[in-house]
Amino acid sequence: SSCVLNVEGSGRAARSARTVIVSGVPAGLLSKDVVADILHMHFQKRKNNGGDVEQVVYPTVEKGVARITFEDPEDVENVLKKDEHQLKDKRLPGCYPLKVTRYCGAVSPFLVFNCVFSLLNMSVFKDEFDLEDLIQELKKNIPALSFGRLQSDGHISVEGPFPAIKLLKDFLLLKAKSLSEKDKREQNKSHQRPKRSLRQQRLSMETSNSIPDADGGKQVLILDTDIYHYMKHFFFKKLLVNYDVVISDDIEGEITTLYIRNARSRSGTEQVLRVKEEIENESVKLHNSLRKERICFEGYMGDEKQKYKQACETVKSHYPAVLVIPYDTHIDIIGNSSLTFKFTREVRRKIGSQKSKLERSCSYGCCK
């Protein structure tokens, strides 16, 4: 059972708008009541951009994941702005980096890939649509999404459940395709124009790699980037052995667009459609089972970062179904819930063991 720590609040804003999901909570070290209390204190502190906490739910169905509800929705925005949350308390044996994400309503809050961020370039539509009106239409049709402010260059940030982000991308691709087809019809009607307008050229470039060919020779698929990395490592090689197709990608932050086409121009469309279907089916399975742990390097020197990378390489041989992606600022560990938790715990233990050996070695040296 979970420890639910309540503090009475006004309840004026919807609970979902006042809630965040916290992963990376150390599990199995202290009682659930104590951990809930530590989380409550952490998210009330001003230095953590916190505010008045109404409820802490810990543990949840996912190990190492908690749900925090604030009294004021502004506190959600504030804690999300903080670059990194470090859980520290004298009752804990160490410092634990937390990942804080927005709670995305009806989607299960216990899936790591439930809420993703995307930056859209809407400028391609500005000559045909009033962008503010178009965004209002998107908000109305896809209410699960949260839109940022439209920038002067046509870019806008969007956050929400992955299925809703995918729906948004599909909707915009269809809009772009309809504009592209309209341009072609206009061009065919008028042979007087010596060249196409800059807008038409730009639109053609934007959509030529994003829209399926008329004969179905190319298919487009949108995936969560972490799921794409996992599938590329574990699934694609086995899949492509059986089909004569080529897959290319366009990675934009947390969203990746795949382009699937025949390796030979005269091949039929059946293989492309079959590959697309297999990738879609596999991505649905992974969306419901994968979890991501992150080891952050903030405050670490080059040697410390290298030790973590080496520790991950050593531990990886015992976890063949876990994907490790090292970056300059952090390491992402992707796999099912229990494996990623065990993997990260083992890496931290290995680093802790090395530190204690170094301290003992130092102590012996001083004694001499």
The answer to whether 113-194 and 212-287 have equal CATH topology is yes
Query: How sure is the predictor about 43, in pLDDT bands with cuts at 50, 70 and 90?
Result: very high
Please check the confidence at residue 295 and state whether its pLDDT lies above 90: no
Indicate the helix (H) or strand (E) that contains 229.
Answer: helix 225-234
The fold of the 212-287 domain, in CATH, is Ribosomal Protein S8; Chain: A, domain 1 (3.30.1370)
Please say whether the beta carbons of 149 and 179 come within 8 A.
no
pLDDT exceeds 70 at position 55: yes
Q: Using one digit for the tens of pLDDT, what is the confidence trace for 131-184?
A: 898 888 888 878 777 788 888 888 887 877 777 777 787 788 777 766 665 555
pLDDT value at position 235? 92
Q: What is the dihedral angle through the alpha carbons of 124, 129, 133, 135, rounded to the nearest 10 degrees?
A: -20
Average pLDDT over residues 273-286: 87
> According to the model, what pLDDT value does residue 268 have?
66
Place 187 in a pLDDT band, splitting at 50, 70 and 90.
low
Confidence of residue 312 (pLDDT cuts 50, 70, 90): very high
pLDDT tens digits, 322-349: 999 998 888 889 998 788 888 988 998 8
Number of alpha carbons in the 13 Å side-chain half-sphere of residue 52: 9
> What is the percentage of the chain residues whose pLDDT exceeds 70?
75
In this prediction, residue 180 carries a pLDDT of 60
Q: Please, what is the average pLDDT of the chain?
A: 77
pLDDT for 199: 35
Fold of 292-356: Alpha-Beta Plaits (3.30.70)
Identify the band that residue 201 occupies on the pLDDT scale cut at 50, 70 and 90: very low
CATH fold of the domain at 3-111:
Alpha-Beta Plaits (3.30.70)
91-100 pLDDT, tens per residue? 998 888 888 8
Closest CA to 338 of 290, 306, 301, 297: 290
Based on its alpha-carbon atoms, the radius of gyration of the chain, rounded to whole angstroms, reads 24
Kindly state the percentage of the chain with pLDDT values over 90: 18
pLDDT of 9 strictly over 60:
no
Average pLDDT over residues 3-7: 49
What residue ranges do the domains of the chain occupy? Answer: 3-111, 113-194, 212-287, 292-356
Q: Give me the DSSP letters along 299-311.
A: T--HHHHHHHHHH
Residue, of 303 and 159, whose pLDDT is higher: 303
The domain made up of 113-194 has a fold known as: Ribosomal Protein S8; Chain: A, domain 1 (3.30.1370)
Q: Where residue 104 falls among pLDDT bands split at 50, 70, 90?
A: low
Q: Could you count the other beta carbons within 10 Å of the beta carbon of residue 149?
A: 8
Nearest residue to 89 (alpha-carbon basis) of 127, 130, 37: 37
Using pLDDT thresholds of 50, 70 and 90, give the confidence band for residue 33.
confident
Per-residue pLDDT tens for 204-230? 323 333 334 444 568 888 888 888 999
pLDDT of residue 206: 34
Window from 11-25, 26-40, 228-242, 334-348 with minimum mean pLDDT: 11-25
Rounded to the nearest 5 degrees, what angle is found at the Cα of 174, between the Cα atoms of 171 and 180? Answer: 145
Which pLDDT score is estimated for 228? Answer: 92
| Beta-ladder partners of 161 | 115
